[in-house]
Structure formats: structure tokens, C-alpha cells
Amino acid sequence: MSSNPDDRFDWDAAEAEVFDLDAARQARTADDTDDTDGGPVLVDSPEAQKAPRFTMAGLRAGQRRPILPAWLRSRDELRDAVRWTVGHATHSTGYHLLRLPKYAGKLAVRSPRGVYRVTRATVRWLFDLEGEQVRQATVRREDAEEYLKLSRQRDRRVRWRGIVATFGTAVMLAGGISLVFAPSWSRWGILALAVTLFGMIGQPADKPLLDTAVVVPRVARLTSEIVIRALSVLGNSGINQALRKQGNRAIAFTAPITRDGPGWRAELDLPPGVTAGDIAEERERLASGLTRPLGCVWPEGRPEVHPGRLVLWVGDQDMAAAPLKAWPLVKAASFDVAKPLPFGTDPRGRTVSIELPYTNILIGSIPGYGKTGAIGVPLFAASLDPYAEIWAFDFKGTGGLDPLAKVAARFASGQDDETAEAGLLALRELRKECQRRAAVIKGLPKTVCPDNKVTPELARRKGLGLHWLVVGLDEIQELFSHPEFGKEAGELAEKIIKLGRALGVILLLATQRPDAKSLPTGVSANAGTRFCLKVMGQTENDMVLGTSAYKNGIRATMFAKKDKGVGYLVGTADDAQIVRTFYINGPTAERITDRARALREAAGTLTGHAAGQAAETPAARRDTLLDDVLSVVPADEPKVWAETLVERLSGLRPDAYGDLTADQLRATLKPYGITTGQVWGTDPVTGRGANRRGIERVDVVNAVAERNKRRGDKAA
Ligand SMILES: Nc1ncnc2c1ncn2[C@@H]1O[C@H](COP(=O)(O)OP(=O)(O)OP(=O)(O)O)[C@@H](O)[C@H]1O
């Protein structure tokens, strides 16, 4: 009886067809041993194994290669190429012209040997001496018939060669005699020609006539074997396993290795599971595997294709050792902020530009790698636009931005509380300025301002106050992590960075501590352009370059000690670019800002700090405010209304507090952690008790203690 409830099932037939596992295993092993190259067993359907068919859709999706080479499409590159060619030709010509006497001497010394070589060759030809050995051999063999044949041939040859030689000698003699009557310059000319000719013929094989004007360094070619060898020494288990299993086929080159600018470019697919980021992280080992200087080896990912696609560019010259290109604006008479701004060069030496309008720039790195240099480039460029307003703050006071003091409407530099406070006040102003600009834009007709944002035309229109406002904040971590002003500054910066873009306000922030405490995420997340010089870890990398940048292989951790001013630039092109910023040294910066100041004076746009107007700062008031509060609120009065406090303060020092309002007082006390709440008090006019906004004295006492401690720490 069958245990199967389905009686219709044919068990006999099924047993006959049972799959013989052992037989199958044997067959499989046999197949495997047949597979001589040890490749994987194909499990795809025959359909999937077919080569992809040509389709119109595929052709349409194809990527068109540019018709003209890159150096012909870019005016800069064309200019560079022409300049190089002319320079090269001039140098070579000058070098050889100077050595002409030496070359003439060499030719003269070598010409007797040349005469000897020519005479010997002529005699050998005339008497058919090259056949002499064969004729001697027939004599030794006593082969009379062969000897006769060869002798006849020799006689024939010598006869007609003799005629030719006699004729030639006659022509030369005639020429020689006619030279006696020829002008002397032609005699010298013929002599020079003869010396040159015989000198060249007499040249030893290993000693060329001309010296070497340009020594071209020999750069080894980049081949697929070299790339594979370099990848195999990285110690990456994924690569090593794949190479063991599949040999060189494990690395699939998706395009031929070609010359690309002054270097080689290889594009390849890494074995499954290995990402371009893994390779970028091992850049130093990769350079060792390629036996090239580190500054020549630039691995990049193409995450838009897939994470395992690697583009390896190997330059002929170390980027850090290559001569720095001069900043194109060094001698520019002026600059328009709305135009592309030359920011740096890529490893191929091409200029990379950024656009300032409608973006904010965040720059980050560990100290000493070129942050100030990088933030300086857009600031100095903007200073050359007399209609752009510059605000510049350096919260560490290293002095890199000091040349801007003569053009900036607001400027402060230093590591003290005053500079931090000036920064905070500037941000408050900037927030108000954003609100004002938003209102102006709202009031403009759609025909003038179709996208509700400042256009280059609006920025130039006088009276609207919508000019570009470029605000550079260097070492911003000092402000954002300031115990008194940091929190408010962070909140303001976050609002400004979100709002300002369309309002012509461009924030440039540089920090050496890109972590959540020193750089509010609301700020870092809203920067459109990011430039990351060397950082130490994934967190800082992603904070500056954006979430997932590290995972996608864009790793500023790969930069080495020598890579000063070199970083990843994100947000200006489709892909992240490696850029070395132009370097503007102190004296150059001074010259630029001198020119910028003259431009502003001529345009009548020199304002604020640069025009000698000190920015309004309540620093003096702040300094004494806490102490003044304590002196007008006796110790036995634990709480006081804000309005009462304002009255007492203005009574105490009318010059300092005469115009102080309760709201202003609340805002000024807030950074000290003193907040206002409902407090019970008595109205001095009506004598009635009520709950109104006020402060607690103990908060002020605590704030003073905190401040004194901080000042003590700093003084220490
Ligand atoms: N583009 C560049 N090319 C070559 N060298 C550069 C470049 N930018 C900066 N440097 C070098 O790096 C040094 C440090 O630069 P910079 O002062 O801008 O760094 P930083 O990151 O702002 O430093 P810190 O955080 O200590 O203020 C400079 O003195 C300069 O020699």
C-alpha cells in the first residue's frame, strides 16, 4: 500500500527516474578537471551567456567621446600648449646657437675621418672589392668555370664603374678650377659644406654632434600588468582571493590604458566586494606597488557607475613637487563675483573654478594643511569686485586674512572673546540683513526677479542693497564652541546658510575641527560646495564632504604630509575632484587688496571697517553688564523684573544704558545662560504685586563666577 495519499502518483516511474547523486558528482568532477583554466562553472542560461546584441537603444545610451582633444577645447589649455611649444623651441634654438662654434670644431676634427671613409668606400666600389673573398674562395676550390664567370662579371663592373669614376673626377676637377674664379664667399661656402658633410660622415657612432638641450625624464608606461601587480600587493583579501582563483581576469579593465594629460589613466572594475574606497585608503602602498612617487598616484571612485569602479590616474610628475601655477587673478584689474572663480588646479594641471553665487563653502582639515589658503582664494577674488561686500573673521588670529582688513566692511582677527563676540554680532546683523533682503526681493516685480533670488543684474543695481555679500569665517570652531556665544552663533549660522543662498549672501566657513560640537550639523549639511584637505578619520571626512562620501571612496584621509593645499572638492562638478588650491602668499595678498581698495575707492563702495568706521559693538557694555546688574540688585532681592532692571541700570550709567530696552537686555544676557522667566514682583507705581518677565539674581552670580574662572584659566 502506498503511503502517498495521492493514489494517482506513479511511484515506479518516479523511482526509475531518481537522480543519481553519485554519478552526477563524478560527472561534475570530470567536468571540473576538464576546465583547464580553473574558471568558475557557468550557471547562467545560454541566453544570458550570449554576447549582448547591438540595439539602437544601446547606441543612444552610449557616451560620445569629444571630437576635439581636451587641450583644444579649453582656451587655458590651448594657451598653455602654445606657450610650452614656443618656449621649448626658443630654448632649444638658443641652446644650439650658443654651441655653434663647438659644433663647427667637432665637424672640423671629424672631417678627415669622413674623407678617409668616403675614399675607402669609393675604392672598394670602384674595384668591386666586396666580391674579392668569393673569388678567392673559387681559386682555393680550383673551380675554373665559376672563377671565370666571377672574373668576367668583375671586369664588366670595374669597366663601367671606371667610366663613371673618371667622369665624376672630371666634373669635380672642372668644379675645382671654376672655384678659383668664383667669389670668395662661395669658396668658403663649399668648404663649410664639405667640412659639414665629411664631419658628419666621420662621426663616431656613439657620439652625436648636438648636445642635449632638454633632458626628458623617462616615465615608465603604465600597463595592465603593472596595475594588477600593484593591486595585488595591497594586502586586500578580496583582490588576492580573486587573483588566486581567476588570475589576471579578476581585474577587468573597462577601457584601454591611455595617456590623459601629463599622465596615464586606467579604468577598471575591482573584484566583487572590493570598493574604490578600499584602494584609495591604501594609496601609499599602491604607489609603492606602482614604483611611483605618492604625489603621482591618484585613485578615484566612480560611485555613479558602481562602488567597485576605479579610475587610476598616474601622473608623470609628483603633484606636490610640480611647480605651482600662478593664480590667474594675481594681476587681474578687477573680478566679477558672478563669474567662475579660479580656485586651484587638478592633478592634470588644469584650472578648476568654483562659482560663488547661490552657494556656501565649507572647508575642513587638520591644522596646517591650507585651510586659510583655501578660504583666502574666494575672499581675495571677491575683494577685486568693488560691488561685493566683504566680511572677514579669523577666530584664531593667525593673520592669513589680515590683508583683507583694508577692504572688508567688517573685519576681526584674534583668539579672544572680543573677536568671538564681534563674530556673533556680525551673524546677528547678517540674519537681519537676510530678512531685509528677503523683504526687498518679495517687493520686486516678477519681471525683475523671476526666481525670487538675487541675480547678477540685481546685485549690480544701486539702491536695492542686494549686492553680493561674501562672509568668510576662518577657524569657525573657535566661535561655535565658545561657551558664551557658540550656541547662538551656531543657530544663527544655520539660519543664514539656509536663507542666504538666494539672497546674495555667501558664507565661507573653514574649520579644523569638523565634529558635531564645533560645527552644527545644520550648518555642515547645508553647504553646497565642500573642500576637504587632509583629515584623520571617516567622521570628519563625511562631515565636510557629506554623508557617505567616505563609503563612496571619496576619502580625504588618503592625503599625505606633502599634500599641502590639496583636497577633495565636492559640489562644483558632477564628481568629486582632487584640487590643489592656488597659493596666494602674504605680499601677493597685500598687492591684491591694495588694488581692491583702490577699486572700491573709485566706485565709492569702501565702507565699514575698511573706511575706518568701527563696527558697533556692545563689548564694553557687556564687560561690565553682569557686575552692574549685581550692583543694582541687592543680595536680598532674589528676583527682579526685566523692566525694573533696565530702569535701575539706566539710572546707574545713563550713557551706557540710556537706550537699553528690556528685550535687548534679555538678548544680551542670554549668551551667559541667564534666561528670563516669570517672576513675582511689586509695581512701584501702583504698589500691586504681579508676575512679569524677569531674572533671578543667583543666575547672574553664577555667570560672573563662571566668567572669572574662564578668565583665570586663560590668563594662566
Ligand atoms: N595651495 C598650496 N600649495 C602649496 N602649499 C600650500 C598651499 N596651501 C597652503 N600651503 C602651505 O601650507 C601651510 C599652511 O597653510 P594654512 O596656514 O593655510 O593652513 P591652515 O590649515 O589654515 O593652518 P592652521 O589651521 O594652522 O591655521 C602654508 O604655510 C603653506 O606653506
Q: Give yes or no: residues 520 and 422 share one domain.
A: yes
pLDDT exceeds cutoff 60 at 14:
no
Global pTM value: 0.64
Sequence-distant (≥ 6) Cβ neighbours of residue 564 within 8 angstroms: 320, 368, 369, 370
pLDDT at 36: 41
pLDDT exceeds cutoff 70 at 31:
no
Q: What is the dihedral of CA 114, 120, 122, 124, to 10 degrees?
A: -150
Query: How would you classify the pairing of strands 566-570 and 529-532?
Result: antiparallel
pLDDT at 182: 86
What grid cell was written down for 33?
Answer: 578537471
Judge whether 367 is annotated as a binding position: yes
Residue 128 in any domain: the answer is yes
Q: Give yes or no: residues 384 and 516 share one domain.
A: yes
Report how many domains make up the chain. 5
Indicate the top mutation candidate among 561, 583, 585 to test ligand 1's pocket, ranked by most ligand atoms within 8 A of CB. Answer: 583
| Side chain identity at residue 108, one-letter code | A
pLDDT at 50: 66
Sequence-distant (≥ 6) Cβ neighbours of residue 172 within 8 angstroms: none
Q: Give yes or no: residues 664 and 536 share one domain.
A: no
- Are the C-beta atoms of residues 610 and 600 closer than 8 Å to each other? yes
Bridge partner residues of 351 (DSSP):
345
Where residue 364 falls among pLDDT bands split at 50, 70, 90? very high
Select from 186, 201, 216 the last residue of a domain: 201
Q: Which helix (H) or strand (E) holds 692?
A: strand 689-696
- Are the C-beta atoms of residues 495 and 348 closer than 8 Å to each other? no
pLDDT at 301: 85
Sequence-distant (≥ 6) Cβ neighbours of residue 408 within 8 angstroms: 383, 390, 391, 392, 608, 609, 610
- Report the range of poorest mean pLDDT among 139-148, 436-445, 672-681: 672-681
Q: Give yes or no: residues 365 and 496 share one domain.
A: yes
Strand locations in 458-565 (E): 469-474, 505-511, 529-532
pLDDT exceeds cutoff 50 at 39:
no
Say which residue, 260 or 619, is predicted with more confidence.
260
Beta-sheet strand order (sheet of 566-570): 351-354, 341-345, 577-581, 566-570, 529-532, 361-364, 505-511, 469-474, 389-394, 410-413
pLDDT exceeds cutoff 90 at 598:
yes
pLDDT at 407: 94
Rounded Cα gap, residues 504 and 456, in angstroms: 9
pLDDT at 214: 81
Ligand 1 atom at shortest distance from the alpha carbon of 581? 1
Judge whether 365 is annotated as a binding position: yes
- Report the range of poorest mean pLDDT among 268-272, 280-284, 342-346, 592-596: 280-284
- Report the range of poorest mean pLDDT among 96-100, 281-285, 443-447, 589-593: 443-447
Span 41-98, pLDDT tens digits: 445 556 655 666 777 877 887 777 778 877 777 777 788 778 888 999 999 999 999 9
What grid cell was written down for 269?
Answer: 572594475
Residue 115 in any domain: the answer is yes
* Phi/psi at 301 (5° precision): -95, 165
Q: Give yes or no: residues 525 and 657 share one domain.
A: no
Q: Give yes or no: residues 267 and 384 share one domain.
A: no
Judge whether 366 is annotated as a binding position: yes
CA distances from 167 to 144, 159, 161, 173 (A): 34, 13, 10, 10
Torsion 637-638-639-645 (CA) sign? positive
Alpha carbon of 524 to ligand 1 centroid (Å): 22
CATH code of the domain in which 677 resides: 1.10.10
Residue 12, burial from CB neighbour count under 10 angstroms (0-12, 13-18, 19+):
exposed
Say which residue, 190 or 617, is predicted with more confidence.
190
Judge whether 657 is annotated as a binding position: no
pLDDT at 43: 56
CATH code of the domain in which 522 resides: 3.40.50.300
Q: What is the dihedral of CA 486, 492, 494, 498, to 10 degrees?
A: -170
* Phi/psi at 655 (5° precision): -65, -35
pLDDT at 71: 72
Q: How many CB atoms lie within 10 A of CB 231?
A: 28
Where residue 666 falls among pLDDT bands split at 50, 70, 90? confident
Share of the chain above pLDDT 70, in %: 90
Rounded Cα gap, residues 95 and 206, in angstroms: 21
Query: Which SS3 state, helix, strand or coil, does residue 570 take?
Result: strand
Sequence-distant (≥ 6) Cβ neighbours of residue 590 within 8 angstroms: 403
Q: Give yes or no: residues 106 and 146 share one domain.
A: yes
pLDDT at 77: 72
Q: Give yes or no: residues 439 and 515 share one domain.
A: yes
Chain centroid, CA 532 distance in Å: 10
Rounded Cα gap, residues 248 and 207, in angstroms: 44
Q: Which residue's C-alpha comes closest to atom 9 of ligand 1?
A: 370
- Which residues' Cβ are closer than 6 Å to ligand 1? 324, 365, 367-373, 398, 400, 512, 564-565, 580-581, 583
| Side chain identity at residue 327, one-letter code | W
pLDDT exceeds cutoff 90 at 517:
no
pLDDT at 21: 44
Q: Give yes or no: residues 530 and 398 share one domain.
A: yes
CATH code of the domain in which 291 resides: 3.30.980
Alpha carbon of 558 to ligand 1 centroid (Å): 17
pLDDT exceeds cutoff 50 at 28:
no
Q: Which residue's C-alpha comes closest to atom 31 of ligand 1?
A: 564
Q: Give yes or no: residues 418 and 531 share one domain.
A: yes
User: Terminus-to-terminus CA distance in the chain, angstroms?
Assistant: 99
CA distances from 552 to 216, 302, 306, 375 (A): 38, 8, 9, 26
Residue 557 in any domain: the answer is no
Bridge partner residues of 409 (DSSP):
none
**Mean of the pLDDT values across residues 462-470?**
87
pLDDT at 615: 59
**Mean of the pLDDT values across residues 296-304?**
86
Select from 265, 297, 315 the last residue of a domain: 315
* Phi/psi at 395 (5° precision): -85, 5
Rounded Cα gap, residues 375 and 367, in angstroms: 14
Enclosing domain of residue 82: 69-94
Ligand 1 atom at shortest distance from the alpha carbon of 510? 22
**Mean of the pLDDT values across residues 541-553?**
87
Span 387-443, pLDDT tens digits: 999 999 999 988 889 999 999 999 999 888 888 888 998 999 899 999 999 988 888
Judge whether 472 is annotated as a binding position: no
**Mean of the pLDDT values across residues 492-503?**
90
Strand locations in 541-673 (E): 566-570, 577-581, 639-641
Where residue 313 falls among pLDDT bands split at 50, 70, 90? very high
Residue 357 in any domain: the answer is yes
CA distances from 235 to 71, 282, 299 (A): 38, 9, 16
Rounded Cα gap, residues 387 and 383, in angstroms: 9
Sequence-distant (≥ 6) Cβ neighbours of residue 537 within 8 angstroms: 557
Residue 216 in any domain: the answer is no
Indicate the top mutation candidate among 372, 393, 582 to test ligand 1's pocket, ranked by most ligand atoms within 8 A of CB. Answer: 372
pLDDT at 44: 56
Q: Which helix (H) or strand (E) holds 690?
A: strand 689-696
Ligand 1 atom at shortest distance from the alpha carbon of 582? 1
Alpha carbon of 368 to ligand 1 centroid (Å): 5
Q: Give yes or no: residues 597 and 631 share one domain.
A: no
Residue 159 in any domain: the answer is yes
| Closest C-alpha to 543, from 560, 522, 559, 563 | 522
pLDDT at 46: 65
Share of the chain above pLDDT 90, in %: 37
Residue 4 in any domain: the answer is no
- Are the C-beta atoms of residues 398 and 617 closer than 8 Å to each other? no
pLDDT at 49: 59
Residue 565 in any domain: the answer is no
Q: Give yes or no: residues 300 and 362 share one domain.
A: no
pLDDT at 379: 96
Judge whether 483 is annotated as a binding position: no
Select from 263, 298, 315 the last residue of a domain: 315
Ligand 1 atom at shortest distance from the alpha carbon of 474? 22
Q: How many CB atoms lie within 10 A of CB 166?
A: 10
Alpha carbon of 373 to ligand 1 centroid (Å): 6
**Mean of the pLDDT values across residues 279-285?**
88
